């Protein structure tokens, strides 16, 4: 049940048709893990916290650098040298102290993911490399929880929800080959600051929709954005037959 202060804090959300108090209470009860607190993870974490998600698990082993500040909006000059997850936790505490924040400030490998996903309802993948994304995809499938994935570079981005337990493909269906060690990176290819802000905010929106059972979620759909020319495409994506990660779900095995 929402307190008087919460009714005031979340008033504008409560006015949204089909969301209202029931949706807000679902957010309060939810736990979301965000892996990566950089360009995508910063806006995703801030909007989920501001919207009233009850618990956020922040995972990032990197430190804030000067070159991050152009786009990673939860960090400031004073945070340079600090762990990114710790920095974002501090920003969230100032933004919405009601949110319970759990910080994991070490680098995580595939074997570390299963314990981190215990009691988590949803994962936001804001990582920047393929090995992490593939490992996280498998961990989410094993845990039976949705994965909200995004990527951004230069002036382009893409967004999808992978939730094969409830229909549709997994991340491996879209990218079947694990051979590439690292995704196209902002440090090598550049990125305009608002691009990651747009994609991270859209990740937060998809997460809120999933948690509150609100609207149409991007299951089985890849949203592609060309922000240089303001062109947006929606591409249907289907489970890949024989996918090493989710084919057992397709066959009922």
* Phi, psi values for residue 156, rounded to 5°: -130, 160
Q: What is the pLDDT of residue 190?
A: 86
Question: Which domain does 107 fall in, by range?
Answer: 4-251
Strand order in the sheet with 221-226: 100-104, 55-59, 31-35, 122-125, 147-153, 156-162, 221-226, 231-236
* Cα dihedral 182, 187, 193, 199 in deg (nearest 10): 0
Ranges of the chain with pLDDT below 50: 181-182, 253
Taking Cα atoms as reference points, which of 150, 153, 155 lies closest to residue 136? 150
Compute the distance between CA of residue 142 and CA of residue 28 in angstroms, rounded to an integer: 25
Compute the distance between CA of residue 48 and CA of residue 15 in angstroms, rounded to an integer: 18
Q: What is the pLDDT of residue 186?
A: 61
Compute the distance between CA of residue 111 and CA of residue 109 in angstroms, rounded to an integer: 5
Which domain CATH number covers 85? 3.40.50.720
**Cβ atoms of 32 and 40 closer than 8 Å:** no
Compute the distance between CA of residue 236 and CA of residue 201 in angstroms, rounded to an integer: 22
Q: What is the pLDDT of residue 150?
A: 98
Q: What is the pLDDT of residue 253?
A: 46
In 87-200, beta strands by DSSP E? 100-104, 122-125, 147-153, 156-162
Q: How many domains does the chain fold into? A: 1
Whether pTM exceeds 0.85? yes
Q: What is the pLDDT of residues 60-106, one digit of tens each?
A: 999 999 999 999 999 999 999 999 999 999 999 999 999 999 999 99
Q: What is the pLDDT of residue 182?
A: 47
Q: What is the pLDDT of residue 183?
A: 54
């Amino acid at each position: 049940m929402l307190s008087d202060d919460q009714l005031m804090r979340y008033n504008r959300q409560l006015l949204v048709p089909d969301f209202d108090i029931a949706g807000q209470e679902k957010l309060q009860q939810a736990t979301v893990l965000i892996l990566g607190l950089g360009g995508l993870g910063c806006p995703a974490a801030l909007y989920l916290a501001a919207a009233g998600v009850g618990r956020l698990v922040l995972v990032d082993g990197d430190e804030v650098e000067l070159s991050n500040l152009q786009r990673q909006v939860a960090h400031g000059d004073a945070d340079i040298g600090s762990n990114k997850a710790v920095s974002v936790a501090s920003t969230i505490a100032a933004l919405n102290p009601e949110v319970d924040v759990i910080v994991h400030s070490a680098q995580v490998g595939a074997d570390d993911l299963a314990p981190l996903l215990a009691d988590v309802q949803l994962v936001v993948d804001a990582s920047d490399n393929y090995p992490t994304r593939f490992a996280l995809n498998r961990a989410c499938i094993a845990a039976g929880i949705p994965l909200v994935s995004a990527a951004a570079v230069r002036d382009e981005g893409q967004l999808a929800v992978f939730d094969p337990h409830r229909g549709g493909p997994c991340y491996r269906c879209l990218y079947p080959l694990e051979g590439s060690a690292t995704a196209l990176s902002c440090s090598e290819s550049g990125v305009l600051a608002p691009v990651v802000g747009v994609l991270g905010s859209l990740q937060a929106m998809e997460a809120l929709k999933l948690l509150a059972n609100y609207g149409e979620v991007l299951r089985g759909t890849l949203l592609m954005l060309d922000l240089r020319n303001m062109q947006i495409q929606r591409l249907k994506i289907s489970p890949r037959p024989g996918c090493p990660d989710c084919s057992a779900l397709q066959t009922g095995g």
